Chains A and B, each alone.
Chain A
Amino acid sequence: MSTVLLHLDEISRRYGAVTALHPLSLTIPTGARHAIIGPNGAGKTTLLHLIAGTLAPTEGRIVLNSRPITRLSPAARADLGVGRTFQHPAVVDQLTVADNVALAIRRRLTFAVHQRAGHRALRAARVAAALQQVGLTGEAATLAGQLPYGRRRLLEIAVVLAARPRLLLLDEPSAGLDPAEISHLTAVIRALPAEVTVVLVDHHLPLVFDLADTITVLASGQHVATGGSEQIRNDALVRDAYFADTTPATTRAPRKGARPTVLDIEQLSAGYHGAPVLDQVDLTVSAGTVHALLGLNGAGKSTLINVVAGLHPARAGTRILLDGTDLRASRTARHRVALVPQGRRLWTALTVSEHLAMAAAAGRRFGAGDGPGRDVADILDMLPVLRNKLRRYPAQMSGGEQQMLAIARALLLRPRLLLLDEPSEGLAPQIIDQLTTVITGVANDGVAVLLAEQNQRFARAVADQISVLDSGHIEFTATTAVLARPDAQARLAELLGVSTAGTVA
C-alpha cells in the first residue's frame, strides 16, 4: 500500500558559510511514522522547516504527493495537507481553547463573513471532536494563555489535527512534558488514523522507539542512517554518533587541592509563559573546575545558564552568589561573568576584530588586577583560527569559527565565571576536540566554568563534575570518576533517554 507521500530530493540548507543541512534524500510513504533524531545542531529542525516551507532549501526539490512544492509558501503547503507543531506550543494565548481550534477549520480561501448557520454548526461539531480527541473538552472556554504548558501542547496538537492534515510534522512534542503527559501524548498520536503520515523530531528516545516505524539519524547536518527502529538501535555508526557516547575520548585528570567556590546557586526557580522550567535548583562551581549540566531538551539547562547570565528573570526566592556576594542580573559583565550563548549570538553587523575590540574594552574596564589578564593578542594565540579572519563578518565564517569567536568574546571579558550553553552544538568531531582543549586550558587558568551540554562524550572529556537535570530538578551530581561506575552509567542512560530499556513494545 506504500504510495509515496513525501519525497525529498537532495535538499540542503546553508546559512552564509554554515551548512545546517547537507544534501539529503528521503522518501516517506503514506501512513508512515517517521522519526528524525540526532544531537542538537544535527539539522532536524531545519529539515522540518524545509518541509513546512518556513525555510527555503538552498538546493534540492521537495515533492508532496507527486506534486513539486519546493517553491510553495507555508500557507500553500498547509492547503495541500501539511500540518505542523512548533518547539514552543504555537497557540494564540489571547483566544479561548475552542476559538483556537476553530481557526483550523476553514474552507479554503474563504473568510466566511457570510456564514450560514449550517456552517457554524458544522464548525462547532468539528471543534468539539478535536478537543475530545486530546481530552481538552472541559477547558473549551479557557483562554489558551492560562493553560499549563503540557495542556497547551495538547491544544496545539488538537488545532493541527482539526485541520485534517495528511502530513503531520511534530517538532519536539515531548519537550517540557512530564512522564504522564508524554504517555497521554503518545496515546493521542497512536490513535491517529492510519492514512495520516507523521514526521516526528524528538529527543525522548522511548517515545521515538514507541511510535516510529522508520528512523532517520542526522548528525552535524549530515545523514547518518535511515532504517527500522531495530536496525537503528544496532547500527554501529548510529551508536557512535548518538547513543554510544558513554566512553569519553579522554578522561579528565582530576584537579588537586581545595578550590574556592565561585558560583553558588541556591533555590533557583524560573519559568516561561507561566510554566515552571526550574524548581529550586542548588548548584556550585569552584574556581578552576568545569561543571557540566546534562539533560534532555526542555530539562532546563539553557534556562539555568540564561538566569545566571542575567538574560532570563529568576523567580522570587532565588539566590545567586558570586564569590559570596549577590549577582545582579543587570551587571553580570561587571561581575566578570561571561557567556557563550546557545546559537553563538554574534553581532551580524560587526567584524571579528570589532567583536574582539568591544569585548577587550569591557575586559579592561571590569577585569582589572586579579585573574588571567587576556588581551586580543593572547586570544589570537589561543585561537589561531581567528587570526586571518579579522575582517570577516560572522556570516562569512564556518560554525566552528563562529563558536571560537563567541568563546574569544567571552574570554576577553577576563571572566571569573564562564558560562557555555551547548558549545558543541552542530560542530564536527575535530572541532569539538579543539573546544575541549580550549575549555580545559581556561579552567587550568583558574576560571570557574559552567557548561550546559547534550554531547555526553564532550561533557565528560572536559568536566570535573557533572549534574543531570531532569524536568527542572537536579537528579544527581557526581564527579567524572564516579560516573565511570556501571550503576552511575545505568542511571545516566536512563535519565538521558539513551537507553532503550524503557521502550514499550
Chain B
Amino acid sequence: MPSIVKPVARHPSLQKNELGLTIRDYEGSMSTLCAGCGHDSITAAIIRALWEIAMPPHMLAKMSGIGCSSKTPAYFASGAHGFNSAHGRMPAITTGAAAANRDITYIGVSGDGDSLSIGLGHMCHAIRRNVRMVYIIENNGVYGLTKGQFSASADVGSKSKRGEANQVLPIDPVTLALSIGASFVARGFSGDKERLVPILKAAFAHRGLALVDVISPCVTFNDHSGSTKSYLYTRQNELKAAEADFVPLQTEIVAAIREQGVTAVTMHDGSIVRFRSVPQEYDPTDRQKVMNYLLEKQGSGEIVTGLLFVDETISSLHEQNNTSETPLSQVPYGELCPGALELEQLQHEFK
C-alpha cells in the first residue's frame, strides 16, 4: 500500500466535534488510488461519519484484506490501528480481533474480489456470527490491481474494457447477506456521499455486523459504456429506497419519530434510525418483504440503495458466547489461571 503523507495544514475555523477534533483529524495518508476512484469518495464518507459520531481514533481498528479497496484504511483515521491482512481473510482476522477486545470499534473495508470470491466463506460466517463490525464492500465488479478481470459481482452481459461480455452469474452481497440472517444490510453509491454518511453512522451504532455494499465505479477498468457498475449506469438505474436519517442518542428525538410516514428503529446503543422515502409496504425490519422487494427490483434491472434492513434483536458474537464485559485481552492473568493447588486437585481425575 504505497502512500504519501499529507501536509498538515488546519484552518483555525474548522469545526470541532465533541472530542475537540476537526474532520482533518480523521484523515489518513494521501490516497494512491486512481483519480476519480469511487473508493476515495467512500473514504471521505467514512471520515465524515467518524467525525460526526466523534469516534476516538485510537478506539477504532481498520481491517482489510488485499485489493484496491483494502488499501483505503491507510487513507483515513491515522490515529487508529490498521491491519492490511491477506486476500479474503479480513472477516476471520476481525472475528478474532473482536473476540479479544470487544471495546474496540471495527471497520472492515473489503472489495468484491476480496469478499465475494476468495473470502466469500469468511464473509458469510462473520455475518452468521454477527460479529460487531462495520463491513464495507467497495463493489466495482472488477479486479483493478490485476488490470480488469471480471469479479464475482459483475452482472451477466456487463462488458469489460476490451468489450467482452461477462457470462457468469453474479453474486449479490445484499440478498446473500439477507438470506443468511444478516442483521444490518445497506447499499450505497460512492457517487452519493450525502446518503452514505447516515448509513455509516447507523452501521457504527448497530449491535452486530453491519454490511454496507457500496457501488464504487472503477474509473480505470469499469466505467465505460456497457458496464453495469459505471457512474452513468448506476445513476440511471439507482432506485433510492429506505433512506435513513441517523439520530444519535444524545439528540432530542421524541417528536421526530412521531412524524408521519416514518419508520423508526432504535439501535442497540439507544440512537435511532429514521427511514424516509420508503416505498409503500416496504418495512425495513421485515426480512421477507425486503427480500421480495429487492429480488423484484433486481429483476427489472434497478439498483436499490439505502439502509435496506435492520434487526437489532439478533444477538452478537459476544452475546451468543456470554463473554465477560471486560475485553478478554484485558482480564488479569490472576483470574485466568486456576493455580497450583487446583492443578493438583483436578488431577484426581487422572489417577
**Pair from one complex:** no
B positions within 8 Å CB-CB of A: none
A positions within 8 Å CB-CB of B: none
